Structure 1
């Protein structure tokens, strides 16, 4: 019976992959509706449905698979992603979709043919409609609309539900719990509640029949009610508030992660600015939760623009330092890292400091290595609590390492092949790298792609 069940499952996977390769979107969608765990299944040589659709230039199938939340960072046995496959076979419309950028706007290093990666937490499924934040009438109307979506936070953690496929072969899927106005209106009315307008859903279908109807609005609400009581409001199974956000929030799909990046960062700012940093008086929420104003009419923060009145974003440089020979990179590890894990060096940008100088200063402070040229690659919102990670490549002009043990535990030069083995799960890798959702992982991957055909 087990072998029959296994062969039936393999047949279903083969049918799904074949439909993607042929460009049959209706069959792909129908199979996913019946068996969602097919989404990231692999066939011969580790090829996924996304890779097969990209190979044959089936734009609408690629678009459909992405809308279901498929993992576009998976690699086949040749270490190629779906993006790499589409570029190789010349399907520019597909590669543009997978990279989410127009060719004319690409930011790549000189001499490379790379598209900047779309980093985790950077997806923008909502139109923020910042101009509507001062429209109190419009906001109040949207709050009570029947299709409005509410996300519920406790201690800066969003309520999520996790599900495991019945066959036990698929990884648990974590999703944000969505609530209606009727389900949370009692929480909104409490004085201690913090309500944030996040935006409205971006229209995926701009047909004339739907153009007159406003898309659903999204809000985040933070409550100080007991977490166990809040969980009773959710009808989904296995609801929880993540206790370790640096790890647990990485299990969300890219769209949910993009929403959390905004919501958690703004809520974290509110948790630190309930009192005016200028005079110490109490503050009140304004502009859909995107501003706090001092209640002291004599406070200087009420005159002019002050960065204490609006949500803070703290810039952090994170950099992969390349050896002068071009075939080694510098990675370090902190004591809090899991055993065997090394990552890029990083540090906060100081006031009055450029991004490039911050890279040079932090690298020298932490490792003793001096850096020359610095090249921006991409950035990543990191809502723990509210950082903007500015990813860079930097070229070393010295190679001797002397670590600041107050900052990091160890730093080493790693040869390219060891990095490839670690990145693509080679046999017995010498070390491990951070997960793919981190910009550190993507910077390392970017460097490996620079001089290879991966």
Structure 2
């Protein structure tokens, strides 16, 4: 059976990495009114209008504000870029700017999604990577926004990505009415929200052992077999979510740390009934968590964050 997450993957844009230091090429693209530019300030991007459903506001270079220019690449013959602004220059209550989470519904299933993820990921990295870790000097943006160079010691910084596992843990005879999956919720979430478990990779681990450790730390459940499902870039702020399917060998839930407020086992019947009533609210369709849940369930489910 094909993993459902594969069906929502989008063809990537050509990032044109060979041109990131080609000043003449970059200038020509910036002078082309057909080039599309997205203004980004930290984790927020300018959107069309002020309504919650507004998508990313792509404009011609001449309409873009001044800021650090970042080459995103090309798609279907059009060049895409971003302009990075100081986050402090955008008011928190300015509704013409939206966080990535607010933009996701507008770009779900759209070819713009990888471009927006690329732009926000670079902006987040630049916003938090300001000084050289070796000598403390201020860093300068180079390579069309994809390198930070130290003018004092020459050390270079590159966009950072933290590997994280996100897993659907199941127990019972596969496909049976008694088979259950394990979901958890954090205290900060609104009532009814549950999701698959997740956690960050630590040095020296295999990804399978990261899954086993995280599940045990959060719920006390022991995991045996683990297999790869798919992956998703998630620049909030800089992660690669590696989806895994895991088989539990114990079922007693004992929350060892304070990361989760609650964790529960759900049969398919319980999940369907509670999702339909709104008692259980599952992650949104663009997330790999949703794909993991629906892959296990075997069909689309109602409701989402």
TM-score for both structures, normalised by structure 1:
0.60
5+ residue gaps, structure 2, are 300-305
Say yes or no: does 1:286 pair with 2:142: yes
Say yes or no: does 1:180 pair with 2:180: no
Question: In structure 1, what is the equivalent of residue 302 of structure 2?
Answer: none
Contact 2:43 2:124 in 1 (8 A): yes
CA distance in 2, matches of 1:436, 1:183: 33
CA distance in 2, matches of 1:271, 1:163: 24
Between the two structures, name the one with larger relative contact order (CA 8 Å, sep ≥ 6): 2
| C-alpha distance after superposition, 1:115-172 (max 9, x if no partner) | 442476x5345211112212222112211212111101234311112588xxxxxxx7
CA distance in 2, matches of 1:330, 1:282: 46
Structure (1/2) with the larger strand percentage: 2
Contact 2:40 2:119 in 1 (8 A): no
Question: In structure 2, what is the equivalent of residue 130 of structure 1?
Answer: 17
Question: In structure 1, what is the equivalent of residue 71 of structure 2?
Answer: 197
Contact 1:374 1:395 in 2 (8 A): yes
1:249 aligned to 79, 103, 111, which one? Answer: 103
Structure 1 residue 272: Cα displacement: 1.3
CA distance in 1, matches of 2:4, 2:278: 26
Structure 1 residue 407: Cα displacement: 0.9
Equivalences for residues 299-338 of structure 1 within 5 A: 299=154, 301=155, 309-326=157-174, 327-338=179-190
Question: In structure 2, what is the equivalent of residue 269 of structure 1?
Answer: 125
TM-score for both structures, normalised by structure 2:
0.87
Find the residue that maps to 2:160 and give its secondary structure.
Answer: coil
Runs of 4+ in structure 1 off by over 4 angstroms are: none
Find the residue that maps to 2:81 and give its secondary structure.
Answer: strand
Equivalences for residues 125-164 of structure 1 within 5 A: 126-162=13-49
Structure 1 residue 370: Cα displacement: 0.6
Equivalences for residues 319-398 of structure 1 within 5 A: 319-326=167-174, 327-398=179-250
Moved more, 271-280 or 360-369: 271-280
CA distance in 2, matches of 1:376, 1:160: 35
What is the aligned-residue RMSD (CA, Å)? 2.3
Task: Rate the CA distance shift 1:245–1:176 in 2: closer, same or farther, 3 A.
Answer: closer
5+ residue gaps, structure 1, are 1-112, 165-171, 204-214, 232-238, 303-308
Question: In structure 1, what is the equivalent of residue 297 of structure 2?
Answer: 448
| C-alpha distance after superposition, 1:17-40 (max 9, x if no partner) | xxxxxxxxxxxxxxxxxxxxxxxx
Paired residue total? 290
CA distance in 2, matches of 1:418, 1:430: 10
Question: In structure 1, what is the equivalent of residue 78 of structure 2?
Answer: 216
Task: Rate the CA distance shift 1:124–1:173 in 2: closer, same or farther, 3 A.
Answer: farther
- Max Rg structure: 1
Equivalences for residues 41-60 of structure 1 within 5 A: none
Find the residue that maps to 1:288 and give its secondary structure.
Answer: helix
Contact 2:5 2:292 in 1 (8 A): no
Question: In structure 2, what is the equivalent of residue 296 of structure 1?
Answer: 152
2:285 aligned to 404, 424, 436, which one? Answer: 436
Task: Rate the CA distance shift 1:226–1:150 in 2: closer, same or farther, 3 A.
Answer: same
Structure 1 residue 226: Cα displacement: 3.7
Task: Rate the CA distance shift 1:117–1:267 in 2: closer, same or farther, 3 A.
Answer: same
CA distance in 2, matches of 1:421, 1:258: 34
Contact 2:3 2:295 in 1 (8 A): no
Contact 2:228 2:244 in 1 (8 A): yes
Equivalences for residues 30-179 of structure 1 within 5 A: 113-118=1-6, 122-124=9-11, 126-162=13-49, 173-179=53-59
